[in-house]
Each structure stands twice: as C-alpha cells, then as structure tokens.
Amino acid sequence: MTDVAKILETMEYGPAPESSAPVEAWLDKHNRSFDLFVGGEWTRRRRISTVLIRRPARNSPRFPMRRKRMSMRRVKAARAAQPGWVKIGGARRARYLYAIARLIQKHSRLFAVLETMDNGKPIRETRDIDVPLAARHFYHHAGWAQLLESEFPDHEALGVAGQIVPWNFPFLIMAWKIAPALAAGNCVVLKPSKETSLSALLFAEICTEARLPKGVVNIVTGPGKVGDAIVRHPDVDKIAFTGSTEVGRGIRMATAGTGKKLTLELGGKSPFVVFEDADLDGAVEGTVDAIWFNQGQVCCAGSRLLVQESVAERFLAKLRARMETLRVGDPLDKATDIGAIVSMTQRASIDALVKRAWRRARTCSSPRRAARTAASIRRRCSPMSNRRP
C-alpha cells in the first residue's frame, strides 16, 4: 500500500507546525532579557535579580526575566498621566483604543505564536480565539469610550487601576482588563504572571507604536510579592484580579476598609449536566470543550460531569471513543488538540490529583460497595414528596 493509500485509509493528520521564527527574532531583538515598562519607557535599574523562564512544551531554558521590588515610581507614573488621560475625553481615548486594536490584528501571528510558546496552549486556540477576542475587546471599548459622556453623564474615572492576570489566558485576560479601564479614563499598572509575561511585554511595544501617552499603561513583572505590593499601594484606586480563590481571599482582606474598588474573578468547579433527552454526540463535544480546552487550565472548566442514569452508559462510551481521538502533541502544530501544561509545578499538581483519584477508584471497585454507594445516592436524591414524615 502506497503512502497516499495509507493516509486515505487511516485519515491521519500530517504534521502542520507553525514557524517560531518571528518570535525567536523578537526575542533576539531584546537579547532575550526584558526590563520593566514604566512611564512609556523600558527601565533598567541596579540590583535587579533575574528568574529563568522556561518554555512549557520543552521544559527548556528560555531567557531571564528581570524582576524588582515594587517601587513608588511605577504607580507615580500612572498617577501623573491620569489627569491628562481623562482630560482628552472619550472620543480621543477611543482613537488610541482603535489604534491598539488594529495593531493587535496587524501583529496577530506574532502574538499567537508567542502566546503558544509561552503558555503551551495549542496554536489553534491562540490564533482563532485568544488574539482575535483581545482585539475585539479594544474595538468594543473604543466604541464605549465615545459614548461615556452621553450614557454615563454622572460618572467619572477612578484613577489608577492595579491589574493582576494569571497564566492560563495571559493576553486575553489582560485585554479585557486594560481596555475598559482605559476607555473610562483610568491608567493601569498591570502585573502578568511570572510564568507567562511575554505577551504583556509585546503589548507594551504595541502601546508605544500606537503612541499611547506615557504612563497610561505600565507593565511590571515579577513574583507574587509584586502583585501584593500593587494591592497594598495607597495610590492604587482599583484592584482587578483573576486567579485562585485563596489569593482572592487574601486580596479581599488586604483591601477591606481601604476604600479601594475591587473586582475578583476566581476559580470554580463547574458542573457539566447531561439529561436523557440531550443530543449525546453534541454533549460529548461540549464536554471536550468544557474540560480539555486550554489543557483544562480554565477558571470555569467543566470539571464535574453529571449524567442522567438512563443514558450514562451510552454517553460515557461515546466520550471514551472521542477521548481516544484527541491529539496530544506540539502546541505549535495546528492539528494538536491538547498542548503542554504551563509548568512543572502545575504538572506535579495534576499528577497528585490523578493518583488520589486512582486510589479512590480502587477502594470503590468492590461491586458490593459500589451497590451500597449507588443506593445511598438514590436515597439522598429522591424527591421529598416520596418521603413520609
């Protein structure tokens, strides 16, 4: 059988890698070392330590990321720029937001490949979802900037917004935090995750190319201590945080009584519910999207599956068959469904969860114990009307 005949028989995808050359060239331009973007300029200070960042798909050394303790200058730059940013009005702010949106589209391939290399998610997701949605956020809020005076006549900007974004959707979440803040006349001090800072640093270049006034957007990198300093800084008027519930609780406690505005977007265990009248094939695809999108690294991932008992066996059989066709591989390959976990720390956490689940499954493998468990669940779930007082 010829190679072509084999391909037609198996319908296997061939390799379709996206070139990383543009990103490598961009990294080389910066000598693979990055500073802080403060007051519209790249700043390098003495006594700045470096932390080695690794590429998730290969777990290989990539470049040193500079980090420094939180200083007054970063917030001062945003504070100094904010009155002028408000004064120019919504229509002129909209021009800058439109310019940023167009530049994101212009450099969309660079952003997509960079995000995939930095985060480990498949190129299809960054190319078709993250980057286009980021551009749409700036287009959308550019429109709102022009309507603020007529639609919100009694509202005014808060001032300086401290924004902390996670590693799972670094560029997209950055966009949906920065765009509305700028549209409303606020200035931003943004801290990306130490695991995935590259797209935020590329965005800083976009701000310069769009000729955004200096100090309106400031990008500061580093560990959690930098984010804590932003949260506690007295000149920060609003905190917007996306991340873990544990850290969110700490931020709520730190800001209590300070008068700071606060937005928390935390994680949860979202249920995926399938009833017996559902389109099971469609529900299987929905399950795949709910839990394996972005390797399952999603704040609202469908990590609990609740299936009506009458269709559970059929549904799980279909789901198992679909799981066997998921392609795990190089995130830069356009045919990859599941890329790389963002870091070895997260991989170790996942391994621990899988081992714990396996141990529990083994303890419940006894048919008698399984029958008792099922009977107990049915009793707890029976309608109250069937119970006698």
Of 164, 190, 167, 174, nearest to 119 (Cα)? Answer: 167
**Which residue is catalytic, options 41, 205, 285, 299?**
299
**Is residue 364 among the annotated active site residues?**
no
265 is catalytic: yes
Cα–Cα distance, 381 to 389 (Å, whole number): 16
| Biggest alpha carbon–alpha carbon distance for the chain | 76
Catalytic residue among 41, 265, 364, 381: 265
Q: How many Å is the Cα radius of gyration of the chain?
A: 24
Considering Cα of 28, then 35, then 294, then 341, what sign does the dihedral take? Answer: positive
d(CA 100, CA 174): 13
Q: What is the DSSP annotation of 191-213?
A: E--TTS-HHHHHHHHHHHHTTPP
As to burial, measured by CB atoms within 10 angstroms (0-12 exposed, 13-18 middle, 19+ buried), residue 232 is: middle
Element (H, E) at 262: strand 261-266
3-state secondary structure of 119: helix
Taking the C-alpha atoms of residue 96 and residue 213, their distance in angstroms, rounded to an integer, is: 9
Alpha-carbon distance 106 to 338, whole Å?
27
Query: Distance between CA atoms of 237 and 387, rounded to whole angstroms?
Result: 54
Antiparallel, parallel or unpaired: β 41-43 and 261-266: unpaired
SS3 at position 168: coil
Question: What's the CA gap between 229 and 339, in Å, rounded?
Answer: 33
Q: Are 152 and 230 in contact (CB under 8 A)?
A: no
Q: Enumerate the active-site residues.
A: 265, 299
